[in-house]
Every structure is written in structure tokens, then in C-alpha cells.
Amino acid sequence: MGVVFAAEGPRGERVALKAIARSKPAEEAERRARFEREISVCRSISHDNLMPIVDHGVDNATGSPYFVMPLLEGEDLETTLAREKCLAPDAAVRIVLQACRGLAMLHQGGIVHRDIKPSNLFLERRDDEIVVRVSDFGLAKLGELSGSLTASGTAMGSPAYMAPEQSTSAKHADARADLWALAMVFYHSLAGRPAFERAGSFFHYVVDSAKDVPHLQDHAPWVPAALCRAIHAALLRAPDARWPDVPEMALGIEMAVGAAAAEATLHVSDIRTASPAERATVEPRAILPESWHDLLRG
């Protein structure tokens, strides 16, 4: 829906400028509304793990709205995964926990992202450190704005990371759909592939109520059982069975890996492929939870 340019600000500073991509006249009104929604989200919520905007306006020549962001150094997680395939577990954990902090702030503001995927997690380089920025709020569900833009029964999002309830009605997807999507990003980061590599395989899963999300250890047997269980607790078909919110999910991940690993700073050097020795490890097989409450019972 948008196009981003590297640009120069009025004082000569380098910035990123996002404008609406050209579209058919019939699509123009909705695209403008979604673009203005993205501006509203960025203006209403400020957090180090969210993409900020520094200015916005309307182009005098074209009448098109735009907004301006810092031109950050780094790359999105999709680019990282295309190069590294499967990440070392400690790196994947720290990326996801930073994303959790940004998502928690969105949810506290009553905002559901609805399009969490690797390309919407930007890994900003700050000298030797990495700061994860949740970005692209064009599909976000923001209070009363969502009602006029998303019809009931409309699927919206990216199938590889989309919660099953969102595939049938994005309008009724709540914050637990973002938990599913982030857990799918986690799954992809560890396994080197999404749980559902084709849209058809995902929709077959949605239709066949007897099917489960493929066991993470089928593709990444080196992932510890406790971490595997914490991830799958966000990938349960019924929203009520999943982690109830982002802080609980983050706590579950922290309990699985330990506080020291969860709270460690993410460095540029940490972004690496899981080593042959790590991938040669076969951890005990995790018994997947039927509800997030199962993790509380051990």
C-alpha cells in the first residue's frame, strides 16, 4: 500500500519518507484511510521497540499524504532470515522478546497490529547493539477506525503468520492474533522455515480442525523442550487456549530460557546461523500444551 524513499529533510538530514503507492481510483479512498490510520498509530504510541515518525503532511503537488521516519541503519528480519536461514536460539529469543515489548505497548493502547511478520520487524543497528522495531501499521485495528475499513468475514494479513480466526474475519481478530503471528515468526527464526510454507497448507489447516501446527522440533530438534512448549502455547487454534496477553507470553519464554538469557543485550555479532554443533543436538521431545495453563502445571 505504500512506498518508502530515502530522502533529505529541510536541514539536510537523511530520513525515510513513506507515501501511498499509486493505485486504482476505486482503491484510493481505502488506501488513504489505512495510511492515515498508520500515522495515527505512530503518533499515539511511542516506544523504543516501535517504529517512530518525526513528521507528516500532504504533498502540495499531488495531494498525497506522507510521513517521515528516521533513516535507520540495519535490515528487517526477513532479509536476515533469507541470509542466515535458522538463527541461533539465543538470538531468536532476544529478537522476539524485544518485539514483545513493542507489541505490549500497542496492545495497552488498544491497537492490534494484524500483520506481524519478519519483514515488519526491523533490526536497527546502534553501534554494536541491535534494537528491534515493530513497524508497518497499515493493517492495524485501532478503536473505531477498524469498523469502517474491515468488513466482517474479510481475511487480511500474511497466511504464513496469520492466526486461524484472522483468516476468516480480520475484523474480529484481537490481540491474541498478534501473539500467534509473533510465535510463527519465532518458529520460522528457529526452524529456518515457516510452519506453513504455502498459503494452501495453512488454509488446509484452518479447514481441518483435527490438524495441529507442525511440531517445531520436527524441523528444529535442537530447540529445548521448554522453549518449544512456550512457543506452541501461542499457536493453539482456540484463542482462549493461548497465552492471554504479550506479558504472559514473554514471561513464559523467559521461564523457558532463564532470566539471564532473556535479559541479555542483543549484539550485532549475536545475529548468526545456528552452528552445526547446535543443530546436531537432539533435545528431549516436547509434549505440546493443549492450553497455556499446562505450562503453569509444569
The pLDDT of residue 207:
79
pTM of the shown model: 0.88
Enumerate the domain spans of the chain. 2-70, 74-296
Contacts of residue 104, Cβ cutoff 8 Å, sequence gap at least 6: 245, 246, 247, 250
Please tell me the predicted confidence (pLDDT) of residue 262: 94
**Architecture of the domain defined by 74-296:** Orthogonal Bundle (1.10)
Structure-block grid coordinates of residue 99 = 518485539
Among the listed residues 55, 90, 115, 178, the single catalytic one is 115
List, as one string, the DSSP characters of 162-192: --HHHHH-GGG--HHHHHHHHHHHHHHHHHS
Bridge partners (DSSP) of residue 126 are 129
The pairing of beta strand 74-76 with beta strand 65-70? unpaired
Confidence (pLDDT) at 143:
59
Distance CA 164, CA 242 (A): 12
Domains 2-70 and 74-296 share a fold: no
Q: Residue 1: its pLDDT value, please?
A: 67
User: Alpha-carbon distance 260 to 254, whole Å?
Assistant: 9
- For residue 209, report the phi and psi dihedrals to the nearest 5 degrees: -65, -10
The number of residues making up the chain comes to 298
Mean pLDDT by 10 residues, the chain (298 residues): 86 90 69 75 83 85 84 96 96 98 93 93 96 88 51 57 84 89 98 88 80 94 97 96 97 96 96 96 96 85
Strands 121-126 and 74-76: antiparallel
CATH number for 2-70 (one of 3.30.200.20, 1.10.8.640, 1.20.1090.10, 2.40.30.40): it is 3.30.200.20
Active site annotation includes 115: yes
